[in-house]
């Protein structure tokens, strides 16, 4: 959570960049608001269409079943919007967040310039990476949706697991800006964060909970991108440098100045 606080402090100290980072999130918010309103409007009809077998049931069971289905459907839509909001905002705001993240790097002593690729290529890579991550999210979301129908467990354990899953993948999405600049492939990003689950959850879960409050996601996104950049500098740069005297310690904490050599890209630190 320290990185979240540092990221928000950075954008508040640099107000121009805070406003700059709000634009993609505002556009994405409008799109999701329209989609959720449409889902709420059609949820009852979708519940009736999905449960034709309940037409012959005695009252009040059809209403209870369809009411539960409607609530779960809208809750799933809300959860999906939380899971995908960052991915869509990052895709819409690729140039905005890349510039913001680069500015954070410069203010902290410099960072890699990243691969020299045209904008369309960067957007295509981001789209492919987001699809890869969303497929993994779906592998969790579908079973959790089904388990949501289980009495007691579906109203207690499942939401907790859902927030943990959402928080982990939200961290994956937010750190992708700085990790793409280091040319770290998406599979390696997932592996890095799986090895530091507590770090990933500590950063992502509070954001997921905050994003459930209307409009909060818009105002936290610039600081979240800045905080994720600071997280990556400690997690990846220190690891790649091997924790030198001028860099990061073995635990990923800052022990002194750590200027990342410009033009340097990711190399897998795992022993052969």
Residue 157 lies in domain: 2-239
Residue 257: per-residue pLDDT: 37
Does some domain include residue 225?
yes
The partner residues of 248 in beta bridges, in order of sequence, read 254
Give pLDDT, residue 238.
61
CA distances, 219 to each of 1, 3, 260 (Å): 17, 16, 29
Q: pLDDT exceeding 70 applies to what percent of the chain?
A: 83
> Taking the mean position of all CA atoms in its chain, how far away is CA 106?
23
| pLDDT for position 242 | 42
Cis peptide before 60 (omega within 30 of 0): yes
- pLDDT-based confidence at 114, cuts 50/70/90? low
Domain-embedded: residue 130: yes
Does some domain include residue 56?
A: yes
Tell me: pLDDT of 7 over 90.
yes
Q: Which residues pair with 254 in a beta bridge?
A: 248
Over residues 12-39, the mean pLDDT reads: 87
**Does 133 map to a domain?**
yes
Residues 6+ apart with CB under 8 A from 155: 148
Confidence class for position 3, pLDDT limits 50, 70, 90: very high
- Rounded mean pLDDT of the chain? 78
Q: What is the b/e burial string over 29-61, where b = at least 16 CB atoms within 10 angstroms of the residue's CB?
A: beebeeeeeebeeebeeebeeeeeebeeeeeee
Residue 272 lies in a domain: no
- Total domain count, the chain: 1
Closest C-alpha to 32, from 101, 68, 79: 79
Q: Is residue 235 predicted with pLDDT exceeding 80? A: yes
159 part of a folded domain: yes
Average pLDDT for residues 96-125, to the nearest whole number? Answer: 78
Question: Residue 104: inside a domain, yes or no?
Answer: yes
pLDDT at residue 249 tops 50: no
Three-class SS of residue 248? strand
State the pTM of this model.
Answer: 0.68
What the block records as the tokens of 7 is: 């990221």
| Integer Cα distance of 144 and 147 in angstroms | 5
Helix (H) / strand (E) element for 75: namely helix 61-92
Q: How far is CA 139 from the centre of its chain?
A: 16
Examine residue 248 and state whether it is found in any structural domain, yes or no: no
pLDDT above 90 (res 201): yes
């Amino acid at each position: 959570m320290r990185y979240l606080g540092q990221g928000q402090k950075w954008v508040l100290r640099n107000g121009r960049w805070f406003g700059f980072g709000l634009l993609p999130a505002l556009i994405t918010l409008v799109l999701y608001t329209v989609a959720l309103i449409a889902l709420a409007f059609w949820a009852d009809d979708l519940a009736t269409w999905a449960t034709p077998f309940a037409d012959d049931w005695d009252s009040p069971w059809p209403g209870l079943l369809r009411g539960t289905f409607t609530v779960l459907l809208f809750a799933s839509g809300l959860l999906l919007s939380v899971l995908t909001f960052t991915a869509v905002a990052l895709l819409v705001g690729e140039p905005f967040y890349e510039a913001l993240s680069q500015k954070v790097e410069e203010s902290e002593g410099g960072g890699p310039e990243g691969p020299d690729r045209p904008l369309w290529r960067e957007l295509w890579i981001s789209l492919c990476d987001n699809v890869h991550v969303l497929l993994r999210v779906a592998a969790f979301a579908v079973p959790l949706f089904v388990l949501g129908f289980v009495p007691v467990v579906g109203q207690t354990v499942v939401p907790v697991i859902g927030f943990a899953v959402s928080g982990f993948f939200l961290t994956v999405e937010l750190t992708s800006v700085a990790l793409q600049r280091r040319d770290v492939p998406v599979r390696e990003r997932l592996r890095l964060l799986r090895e530091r689950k507590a770090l990933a959850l500590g950063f992502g879960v509070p954001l997921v909970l905050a994003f459930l409050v209307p409009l909060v996601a818009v105002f936290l996104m610039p600081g979240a991108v800045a905080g994720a950049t600071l997280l990556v500098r400690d997690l990846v740069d220190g690891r790649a440098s091997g924790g030198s005297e001028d860099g990061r310690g073995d635990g990923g904490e800052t022990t002194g100045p750590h200027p990342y050599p410009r033009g340097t890209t990711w190399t897998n630190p795992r022993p052969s």
